[in-house]
């Protein structure tokens, strides 16, 4: 087990209290595993992803354990985290335009990253490492002399992937890595990511609101709703035997391109207010199966047929 998250709570302090963005999440990640994290916007996916690098805004408070190779990094200070970021755990962000410094040449972005962790590596060797990873993502190393703003959106995302992987981290967190790109470029980028992940034998946390995107990549999928991890299972079970009513609704909301009218079925209702979250199940106000206890008590995690599901419907199966 490379990563083990236990009883993780993340709250954002705000004027009228705090936003309960992640509540009591328990999840682990194995070597070489790809874990998909899915859920609607605002479910806490990015908060959870960023907590693994401790790059959350200042008003965020982390409680619980984030154990990376046996060390609880939730307690690490900034100096200790700087040694982890990029070298052991790295992140591919949603929008490379804002995450890549536009006034630096691409080669300087690489040199900066490499030198931060390995100051002893000579520049020519660092440039060779950078050129190699750039060609792995399909970019001619000669373009290292250009600035990131000179690249197209898809190419910029490839630069970002190369930069995140140049130090061969054990874990890469990809947060909506293709959201801003068109469908064809999206598919190409995911292909590059999958190839490199396999070659480098990395573990990956792939965050997306789109269940379709994780379909081909993820080994297991965690479904988040309003800060709770409501279902966790293999990708196959999530697709073919979804247990939680929210997962079922999410799957139905995927547009089916085989259907002529391409009806998009949204889940009726809104996410609850996370400053005053409901007392019981956070999905209760939108759930067609809600019963009394759902409004009263947060459901525990039930193990059903190798799936972990946070829903009272499974109470009788096994507690
Ligand atoms: P998206 O896909 O839109 O990024 P998400 O599922 O990743 O959504 P988060 O961005 O993690 O969700 O947000 C979880 C909750 O925390 C939301 O209610 C959001 O409004 C809230 N939140 C995020 N950042 C802050 C902040 N700095 N201060 C207060 N609340 C915040
Ligand atoms: Fe629906 Fe109740 Fe299950 Fe929540 S616990 S998803 S409200 S049935």
> Is any ligand 2 atom within 6 A of the Cβ of residue 223?
no
> Is any ligand 2 atom within 6 A of the Cβ of residue 299?
yes
Q: Whole-angstrom Cα distance, residue 10 to residue 52?
A: 12
Q: How far is CA 312 from CA 42, 153, 232, 316, in A?
A: 23, 44, 15, 8
Q: Which of 14, 42, 52 to mutate to test the pocket of ligand 1 (most atoms within 8 A of CB)?
A: 42
Q: Which of 39, 248, 312 to mutate to test the pocket of ligand 2 (most atoms within 8 A of CB)?
A: 312
Q: Which of 46, 50, 174, 177 to mutate to test the pocket of ligand 1 (most atoms within 8 A of CB)?
A: 46
Q: Which atom of ligand 1 is nearest to the CA of 271?
A: 18
Note the pLDDT of residue 268: 85
Note the pLDDT of residue 263: 44
Structure tokens at 92: 């591919």
Q: Whole-angstrom Cα distance, residue 250 to residue 179?
A: 18
Structure tokens at 95: 């929008």
Q: Whole-angstrom Cα distance, residue 61 to residue 254?
A: 34
CA of 9 to the centre of ligand 1 (A): 14
Q: Whole-angstrom Cα distance, residue 22 to residue 8?
A: 7
CA of 48 to the centre of ligand 2 (A): 23
Note the pLDDT of residue 272: 95
Count, residues in the chain: 319
pLDDT (tens place) for every residue of the chain, 319 residues total: 999 999 999 999 999 999 999 999 999 999 999 999 999 989 999 999 999 999 999 999 999 999 999 999 999 999 999 999 999 999 998 776 677 888 899 999 999 999 999 999 999 999 999 999 999 999 999 999 999 889 888 888 899 999 999 999 999 999 988 877 778 888 888 888 888 888 889 999 999 887 877 887 899 999 999 999 999 999 999 999 999 999 999 988 776 555 443 444 568 888 999 999 999 999 999 999 999 999 999 999 999 999 999 999 999 754 4
Q: Which fold has domain 3-88+169-314?
A: Rossmann fold (3.40.50)
Q: Whole-angstrom Cα distance, residue 205 to residue 226?
A: 19
- DSSP SS3 for 250: helix
Structural contact between residues 169 and 87, judged by C-beta atoms closer than 8 angstroms: yes
> Is any ligand 2 atom within 6 A of the Cβ of residue 298?
no
Helix (H) or strand (E) holding 129: helix 123-136
Q: Which atom of ligand 2 is nearest to the CA of 291?
A: 2
Task: Tell me the pairing of strands 307-309 and 89-92.
Answer: unpaired
Note the pLDDT of residue 255: 62
The candidate with the shortest Cα–Cα distance to 100, out of 162, 37, 173, 42, is: 162
Q: Whole-angstrom Cα distance, residue 144 to residue 131?
A: 8
- DSSP SS3 for 268: coil
CA of 294 to the centre of ligand 2 (A): 6
Q: Which of 47, 98, 180 to mutate to test the pocket of ligand 1 (most atoms within 8 A of CB)?
A: 47
- Percent of the chain as helix, strand, coil, to the nearest 5: 35, 25, 40
Report which bound ligand comes closest to the CA of 46: 1
> Is any ligand 2 atom within 6 A of the Cβ of residue 161?
no
Q: Is 26 exposed, middle or buried (0-12, 13-18, 19+ CB in 10 A)?
A: middle
Note the pLDDT of residue 96: 65
Show me where the domains of the chain are located: 3-88+169-314
Q: Which atom of ligand 1 is nearest to the CA of 48?
A: 11
Residues 6+ positions from 185 with CB-CB distance below 8 Å: 153, 154, 157, 178
Q: Is 22 exposed, middle or buried (0-12, 13-18, 19+ CB in 10 A)?
A: buried
CA of 17 to the centre of ligand 2 (A): 26
């Amino acid at each position: 087990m490379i990563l083990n998250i236990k009883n993780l709570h993340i709250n954002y302090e705000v004027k009228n209290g705090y936003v309960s963005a992640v509540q009591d999440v328990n999840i682990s990640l194995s070597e070489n595993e790809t874990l998909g994290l899915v859920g609607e916007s605002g479910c806490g996916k990015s908060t959870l992803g960023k907590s693994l690098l401790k790059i959350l805004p200042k008003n965020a408070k982390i409680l619980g354990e984030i154990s990376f190779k046996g060390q609880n990094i939730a307690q690490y200070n900034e100096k200790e985290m700087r040694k982890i970021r990029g070298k052991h755990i790295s992140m591919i962000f949603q929008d490379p335009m804002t995450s890549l410094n536009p006034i630096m040449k691409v080669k300087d972005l690489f040199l900066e990253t490499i030198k931060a962790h390995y100051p002893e590596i000579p520049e020519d060797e660092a440039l060779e490492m950078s050129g190699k990873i750039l060609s792995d993502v399909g970019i001619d190393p000669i373009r290292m002399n250009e600035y990131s703003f000179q690249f197209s959106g898809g190419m910029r995302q490839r630069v970002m992937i190369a930069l995140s992987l140049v130090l061969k981290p054990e874990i890469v967190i990809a947060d909506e890595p293709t959201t801003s790109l068109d469908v064809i470029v999206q598919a190409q980028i995911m292909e590059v990511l999958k190839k490199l992940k396999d070659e480098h034998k990395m573990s990956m946390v792939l965050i997306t609101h789109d269940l379709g995107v994780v379909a081909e990549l993820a080994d297991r999928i965690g479904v988040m709703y309003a800060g709770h991890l409501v279902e966790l299972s293999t990708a196959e079970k999530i697709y073919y035997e979804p247990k939680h009513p929210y997962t079922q609704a999410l799957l139905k909301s995927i547009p089916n391109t085989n259907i002529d009218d391409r009806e998009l079925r949204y889940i009726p209702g809104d996410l609850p207010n996370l400053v005053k979250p409901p007392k019981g199940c956070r999905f209760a106000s939108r759930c067609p199966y809600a019963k009394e206890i759902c409004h009263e008590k947060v459901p525990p995690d039930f193990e059903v047929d190798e799936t972990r599901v946070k829903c009272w419907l499974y109470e009788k199966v096994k507690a």
